[in-house]
Amino acid sequence: MSSYNILLDVKNLKKYFPVRKGVLRRVVAHVKAVDDIDMYIKEGETLGLVGESGCGKTTTGRTILRLIEPTAGEVRFRSKKLAGQGEEYKEVDVATASRKTLKALRRDMQVIFQDPYSSLNPRMTVGAIVGEPLLVHRVAKGRERENRVRELLGAVGLKPDHMKRYPHEFSGGQRQRIGVARALALDPQLIIADEPVSALDVSIQAQVLNMLEDLQEEFSLTYLFIAHDLSVVKHISDRVAVMYLGKIVELCKTEELFTNPKHPYTEALMSAVPVPDPDYNVERILLEGDVPSPVNPPSGCYFHPRCRYAKDTCKTEAPVYRDLGNEHFATCHFADSLSLRPVRTG
Amino acid sequence: MPLIEVRDLKTYFYTEDGVVRAVDGVDFTIEPEKTLGVVGESGCGKTVAALSVMGLIQTPPGRIETGEILYHRDGKVTDLTGLNPKGREYRSIRGNEIAMIFQEPMTSLNPVYTIGNQIMEAIILHQHLKKKEARKKAIEMLYAVGIPVPEQRVDEYPHQLSGGMRQRAMIAMALSCNPSLLIADEPTTALDVTIEAQVLDLMNGLRENFNTAIQFITHDLGVIAQMADDVVIMYLGKIVERATASEIFHNTKHPYTQGLMNSIPSLATTKKERLIPIKGVVPDPFEVPEGCGFEPRCPQAMEICKTKIPPLKEVASCHLAACWLYE
Ligand SMILES: Nc1ncnc2c1ncn2[C@@H]1O[C@H](COP(=O)(O)OP(=O)(O)OP(=O)(O)O)[C@@H](O)[C@H]1O
Ligand SMILES: Nc1ncnc2c1ncn2[C@@H]1O[C@H](COP(=O)(O)OP(=O)(O)OP(=O)(O)O)[C@@H](O)[C@H]1O
Ligand code: SF4
Ligand code: SF4
Ligand SMILES: [Mg+2]
Ligand SMILES: [Mg+2]
């Protein structure tokens, strides 16, 4: 048997947004933002979720947390805080959990947002922002709460006297640290980080990435790390899921993805990343056209209009997401037979 | 003979809180048909330096304090800082000879006019073509930048195009007058990588066909490596390092540039390595250090760095750096 615990197990998760038109606001179509995805996250690992703008990364994160209601699917979570006497954990389906259970679950599952500017209330002091979850969940108050906030600020590399200041007095990187301190307040098991470093300059980005790695170790955290920057995802993740038009097209161990990709989209994505070396002149695989609309995705394999390996079957038959062995999942008819170009190494 | 020579350029902004020395004594040259990459973190003065060349600094609050922007053409030299930014000569240079793609795509495309109308307007204004010919030329340009079915797209509005297509339309507009210099301010930062790869590929191709020099502004070192012949690294309004792209990447001299290189996670390494960030943050523009601007964050800072500004000087062949380590 496996030597790890699965903390979060997502099955057949769907989120369709209605598209309304006309005076009657009739539903004329659906945006299939998350279109039947399966994935699991192991305790203590970082699962990276990568893909281009609009492919459904944020919606996946928010649906898992049930900040938005899923259209269908299961989100099984092993909660420590909900565990009864003598139990190590209690398994809950977040997708169908009651309001009360959901509130308790919030303590276990936290989120960090992309935008360090708009995600913090400008009228609250840093102390109040970081301490708010403690108040809402009645975990600590008064002196105890203040001490906890001090501790949290210390953990993310800020000073205790920063408590009395307001968000606008901080730089982007520092604001992101405040957001992280807040997410840590309730001692969560899982943190969903939605593009936590995308808005930061590279030198600051590196500081925040290192901090997230340190905190993971210190507090035994599990991360779902959402980003569009493949280099960042590669750096931080143990396993990576690649999304395209609401579907996971490939999911496997990080090193495996970069050395032995099985999906043509992954290959193209890796090839497109600009390499910081002027002597690097391997020809890029250029994808033609734009990402199609999730309202009206192509027939068969969603990737077929841009895929250079597409055959006739790809136009009519949708490939299924399947395990190719060794926990390497891919959604392509020819995943076993294609020989794709790995990322450049050395 | 260079195309543009910028000498000791200083562009300051006079704000309520004090003076922002956005560009503070900058020297660089752009060679004809070459690409100069300008790199640096947010707020270091990349856009202001470009707008200074374009004569588009808003005055007040901004002002070019000192310096020369020498523009060489047909054996003549014009100091652009001596021209009236709103005058006829500058207006004709801007658009005709020096064109710019702006950081905010929506500032250069007007949402109420079709793409075609906007390109045609530039062509009619600068090339004195008739409307019908201008339309033909506009379609040709859209085709040249790889927009599918250009006869149809020419009549569409900016919001009907995807981000990548809008960027292409802007490039088409900027290139429609065959400028000798194209200033591109973060032209791909807002795009997805697969679309970015298309646009970069397009720009490299156009550079060859149109013989245009490019001033390419970005904070992405990967993009610079792919696009630039020469590179300047800016920090706090100053150039800290300037060299050929190959020197910048393979023989990095300035501690700040070294810091930037160590901060970026690499796709190439197979091992999980710890990043080496630059400590601290970029100082507030009103609290610029007295000596070397990088001193508070520099792992190799010395006593002298606190009080004296290091000059930009040659540290290797065709390679300049502003750092007391190379004294
Ligand atoms: N509330 C909503 N109503 C309707 N459509 C939505 C809503 N939220 C998201 N969408 C659509 O769902 C799709 C997925 O959006 P999502 O924000 O999850 O993408 P993403 O991968 O996070 O993109 P980005 O990288 O730009 O953040 C997009 O087509 C988006 O327009
Ligand atoms: N109109 C203005 N008024 C006052 N200050 C300004 C103005 N325009 C720019 N600045 C200041 O000048 C400095 C340089 O700005 P600039 O826009 O050139 O930076 P940049 O390197 O292009 O940054 P980014 O990567 O964020 O685009 C900044 O401190 C900025 O706040
Ligand atoms: S199923 Fe066909 S179109 Fe889809 S990725 Fe595989 S080869 Fe390409
Ligand atoms: S001059 Fe001094 S502080 Fe500045 S970069 Fe060089 S060593 Fe560092
Ligand atoms: Mg998102
Ligand atoms: Mg700028």
Integer Cα distance of B279 and B294 in angstroms: 11
Q: Which long-range contacts (CB under 8 A, 24 or more apart) does A255-258 make?
A: A255/B270, A256/A326, A256/A328, A258/A234, A258/A342, A258/A343, A258/B267, A258/B270
Integer Cα distance of B323 and B315 in angstroms: 9
Integer Cα distance of A8 and A93 in angstroms: 10
Convert the pLDDT of each residue in A30-55 to its tens digit. 999 999 999 999 999 999 999 988 89
Convert the pLDDT of each residue in A268-295 to its tens digit. 999 999 988 888 878 888 888 778 888 8
pLDDT band (50, 70, 90) for residue B106: low
Residue with tokens 């033909």: B136
Is A277 in contact with B225 (Cβ distance < 8 A)?
A: yes
Is B193 in contact with A205 (Cβ distance < 8 A)?
A: no
List the single residue in B with minimal CA-CA distance to A282.
B226
Integer Cα distance of A218 and B171 in angstroms: 49
Q: Which ligand is nearest to the CA of A335?
A: 3
**To test the ligand 2 pocket, which listed residue (B47, B53, B232) has its Cβ within 8 A of the most ligand atoms?**
B47
Q: Does residue B149 belong to the interface with chain A, where contact is any CB pair within 8 Å? A: no
Q: What percent of chain A has pLDDT over 90?
A: 69
Minimal CA separation from B85 to chain A, in Å? 33
Q: Which ligand is nearest to the CA of B325?
A: 4
> A200-204, A211-215, B126-130: which range is least confident on average?
B126-130
For chain B, positions 156-215, list CB contacts with chain A under 8 A.
Answer: 162-165, 192-198, 200-201
Q: Best mutation site among A55, A203, A225 for testing chain B: the one with the most B CBs within 10 Å?
A: A203
Integer Cα distance of A343 and B5 in angstroms: 40
| Plot region of A195 (φ>0 → left; ψ -120 to 50 → alpha; else → beta) | left
Integer Cα distance of B82 and A258 in angstroms: 54
Residues of chain A contacting B268 with CB distance shorter than 8 Å: 275, 343-346
Closest-CA residue to B245 (of B2, B69, B27, B31): B31
Asked if B67 and B10 touch (Cβ cutoff 8 Å), the reply is: yes
The 3-state DSSP class for residue B206 equals helix
Residues of chain B contacting A173 with CB distance shorter than 8 Å: 281
Asked if B216 and B35 touch (Cβ cutoff 8 Å), the reply is: yes
A304 lines ligand 3 (CB under 6 A): yes
Minimal CA separation from B22 to chain A, in Å? 18
Minimal CA separation from B86 to chain A, in Å? 35
Residues of chain B contacting A232 with CB distance shorter than 8 Å: 265
Convert the pLDDT of each residue in B36-75 to its tens digit. 999 999 899 999 999 999 999 998 999 999 999 999 998 8
Integer Cα distance of A320 and A335 in angstroms: 11
Ligand 2: lining residues by beta carbon, under 6 Å: B 13, 15, 20, 22, 40, 42-48, 58, 61-62, 103, 219, 285
Task: Specify the ligand 3 atom closest to the Cα of A333.
Answer: 1
Q: What is the pLDDT of residue A221?
A: 96
Task: Specify the ligand 3 atom closest to the Cα of A265.
Answer: 5
The domain segmentation of chain A, as residue ranges, is 1-108+190-201+220-346
The closest residue, in CA terms, to atom 3 on ligand 4 is: B295
**To test the ligand 1 pocket, which listed residue (A15, A19, A21, A31) has its Cβ within 8 A of the most ligand atoms?**
A31
pLDDT band (50, 70, 90) for residue A345: low
Q: Which two tokens stand for residue B81?
A: 């800082």
pLDDT band (50, 70, 90) for residue B270: low
Residue B325 identity (one-letter amino acid): L
Closest-CA residue to B267 (of A233, A284, A198): A233
DSSP string, A136-174: HTTS--HHHHHHHHHHHHHHTT--GGGGGS-GGGS-HHH
For residue A263, pLDDT beyond 60? yes
pLDDT band (50, 70, 90) for residue A21: confident
For residue A244, pLDDT beyond 90? yes
**To test the ligand 4 pocket, which listed residue (B294, B297, B308) has its Cβ within 8 A of the most ligand atoms?**
B294
Convert the pLDDT of each residue in B225-241 to its tens digit. 999 999 999 999 999 99
Q: Which ligand is nearest to the CA of A54?
A: 1
Is A228 in contact with B192 (Cβ distance < 8 A)?
A: yes
Indicate the length of chain B as a whole number: 327
B48 alpha carbon to ligand 2 midpoint, in Å? 6
Indicate the length of chain A as a whole number: 346
DSSP string, A268-296: HHHHHSPPS-TT--PPP-PPPSPPPPTTS
pLDDT band (50, 70, 90) for residue A1: very low
Is the preceding peptide bond at B60 cis, omega within 30 degrees of 0? Answer: yes
| Residues, CB within 5 angstroms of ligand 6 (ion) | B 47
Q: What is the pLDDT of residue A308?
A: 95
The 3-state DSSP class for residue B27 equals strand
Is A286 in contact with B262 (Cβ distance < 8 A)?
A: no
Q: Tell me the H-state helices in chain B.
A: 46-54, 88-96, 105-108, 115-127, 131-144, 150-153, 163-175, 193-210, 221-227, 245-250, 255-263, 303-307
Asked if B54 and B250 touch (Cβ cutoff 8 Å), the reply is: no
Integer Cα distance of B306 and A144 in angstroms: 43
Residues of chain A contacting B266 with CB distance shorter than 8 Å: 231, 276
List the single residue in A with minimal CA-CA distance to B197.
A272
Convert the pLDDT of each residue in A126-138 to its tens digit. 999 999 999 998 8
Q: B191-205: buried (b, 16+ CB within 10 Å) or exposed (e) per residue?
A: bbbbbbbbbbebbee
A1-108+190-201+220-346 has CATH 1.20.1250.20 classification? no
For residue A8, pLDDT beyond 80? yes
B255 lines ligand 4 (CB under 6 A): yes
Average pLDDT over residues B277-299: 93
A33 alpha carbon to ligand 1 midpoint, in Å? 6
Question: Whole-number mean pLDDT of chain B?
Answer: 91
Is A173 in contact with B200 (Cβ distance < 8 A)?
A: no
Integer Cα distance of A177 and A200 in angstroms: 12
Residues of chain A contacting B225 with CB distance shorter than 8 Å: 274-278, 280
C-alpha torsion sign, points A168, A170, A176, A181: negative
A15 lines ligand 3 (CB under 6 A): no
For residue A85, pLDDT beyond 60? yes
List the single residue in B with minimal CA-CA distance to A273.
B193
Integer Cα distance of B244 and B124 in angstroms: 38
B267 alpha carbon to ligand 5 midpoint, in Å? 22
Residues of chain A contacting B189 with CB distance shorter than 8 Å: none
Chain A with chain B: Cβ pairs closer than 8 A:
133
Residues of chain A contacting B245 with CB distance shorter than 8 Å: 278
Convert the pLDDT of each residue in B108-156 to its tens digit. 788 899 999 999 988 888 778 899 999 999 998 898 888 878 898 899 9
Q: Does residue B265 belong to the interface with chain A, where contact is any CB pair within 8 Å? A: yes
Integer Cα distance of B224 and A275 in angstroms: 9
Integer Cα distance of A79 and B289 in angstroms: 51
Q: What is the pLDDT of residue B105?
A: 63
Q: What is the pLDDT of residue B247?
A: 96
A55 lines ligand 1 (CB under 6 A): yes
Convert the pLDDT of each residue in A111-125 to its tens digit. 998 777 778 899 999
Is A276 in contact with B264 (Cβ distance < 8 A)?
A: yes
B184 alpha carbon to ligand 6 midpoint, in Å? 10
Maximum distance among all alpha carbons in chain A?
68
Task: Specify the ligand 2 atom closest to the Cα of B58.
Answer: 1
